[in-house]
Amino acid sequence: MLGRRDSAVAAQLDRCLSGDAEPEGPEIAGMVMAAAALAPRRPISEGARERAFEAMMREAERQARPPAGTYAEDLADPGIHARVAHAGPNLRLRIADIDAISDEDMEKIAGRIANRLGQIAPDRNQ
């Protein structure tokens, strides 16, 4: 039974990544976001592409498994660079990329997110 569910999740993820469908729930949406984070901004080597694909599949498998008692993020994979920035009380910004993430990149990303959140936040002063 679990194999059929995994196949359905994989098929839905494939359709979403090819642009033929929209994510059907938070599980698929999380996987699509992980895949988008791994999309290269410039050409990469085949070795890096394989490591990124393997990391994406590990993330898809992790998302498909029920949560365990304790959770530890695997940042040991040399093919993925991840950074965490504190964006305020109880707010953390996690960035994952194939390329190394500099402080300047983190500031640019945080600025874009802040601008985006400011655009969609309701005006509470009216």
Give me the DSSP letters along 48-85.
HHHHHHHHHHHHHHHHHSPP-SS-------TT-EEEEE
Answer whether residue 106 shows pLDDT above 70.
yes
Residues 52-65 have pLDDT tens digits of 889 988 888 888 77
**Residue 96: strand, helix, or coil:** strand
Q: pLDDT grade, residue 4 (50/70/90)?
A: confident
Distances (CA, A) of 24 to 10, 15, 58, 98: 12, 11, 20, 26
pLDDT of residue 120: 65
